């Protein structure tokens, strides 16, 4: 079983977690940066509904805490207000290893991921009236770091 710190490293190393990668029209993503900041994007078709900046942390294995800042862009941003009741959201999660691959439905862009993030609820702030199916399963590409991945040292002087 992984530790909270190990799970945090996996979540941060993927950078972007995408839901519905096979749908060309869908942009439902979690951007989780190593510094604990992030951005949640919900878009479909030619409309971005919400871009919500957040801070994120893994307080315990299987728990993801999101603390939202005011949404910055999107059709729903202007009419949405954060309150004490919806500013912080704690979700259960599971991380699973395994290849997920396919091709987008409209254009033949292939995708491939090696991790699945399954959340107990959608990650966007409560109180948003999001259209379409609101996903809670996301896919990420986590790069495994090995001893051979160390930064190369400076090139030796020419002889």
pLDDT of residue 151: 42
Residue 145 token pair: 């770091």
- CA contacts within 13 A on the Cβ side of 150: 5
pLDDT of residue 68: 98
pLDDT higher than threshold 80 for residue 55: yes
pLDDT of residue 143: 79
pLDDT interval class at 108 (50, 70, 90): confident
Mean pLDDT, rounded, for 14-43 = 96
Q: CA 71, 77, 81 angle in degrees (round to 5)?
A: 75
Mind listing the pLDDT tens digit for each residue in 61-103? 999 999 999 998 999 998 899 999 999 999 999 999 999 999 9
Q: What is the 3-state secondary structure (H, E, C) of the chain?
A: CCCHHHHHHHHHHHCEEEECCCCCCEEEEEEECCCCEEEEEEEECCEEEEEEEEEEEEEECCEEEEEECCCCECCCCCCCCCCCCCCEEEEEEEEEEEEEEEECCCCCCEEEEEEEEEECCCCCCCCCCCCCCCCCEEEECCCCCCHHHCCCCCCCCCC
Give the pTM.
0.87
Location of structure tokens 């510094």: 35
99 phi-psi bin (left φ>0, alpha ψ -120 to 50, beta other): beta
Q: Which has more confidence, 70 or 145?
A: 70
Q: Which has more confidence, 151 or 54?
A: 54
pLDDT higher than threshold 60 for residue 145: no
Mean pLDDT, rounded, for 123-140 = 95
The percent of residues above 70 in pLDDT, for the chain, comes to 90
pLDDT higher than threshold 90 for residue 15: no
Q: Tell me the pLDDT of the chain averaged across its residues.
A: 90
pLDDT interval class at 144 (50, 70, 90): low
Q: CA 79, 50, 99 angle in degrees (round to 5)?
A: 155
pLDDT of residue 115: 97
């Amino acid at each position: 079983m992984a530790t909270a710190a190990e799970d945090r490293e996996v979540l941060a190393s993927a950078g972007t977690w995408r839901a519905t990668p096979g749908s060309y029209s869908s942009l439902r993503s979690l951007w989780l940066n190593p510094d604990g900041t992030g951005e949640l994007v919900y878009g479909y078709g030619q409309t971005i509904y919400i871009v919500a900046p957040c801070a994120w942390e893994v307080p315990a294995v299987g728990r993801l805490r999101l603390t939202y800042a005011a949404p910055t862009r999107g059709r729903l941003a202007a009419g949405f207000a954060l309150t004490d009741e919806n500013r912080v959201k704690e979700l259960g999660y599971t991380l699973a290893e395994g290849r997920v691959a396919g091709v987008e439905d409209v254009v033949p862009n292939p995708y491939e991921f090696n991790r699945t993030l399954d959340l107990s609820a959608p990650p966007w702030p409560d109180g948003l009236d999001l259209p379409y199916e609101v996903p809670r399963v996301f896919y990420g590409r986590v790069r495994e770091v090995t001893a051979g991945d160390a930064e190369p040292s400076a090139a030796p002087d020419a002889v």
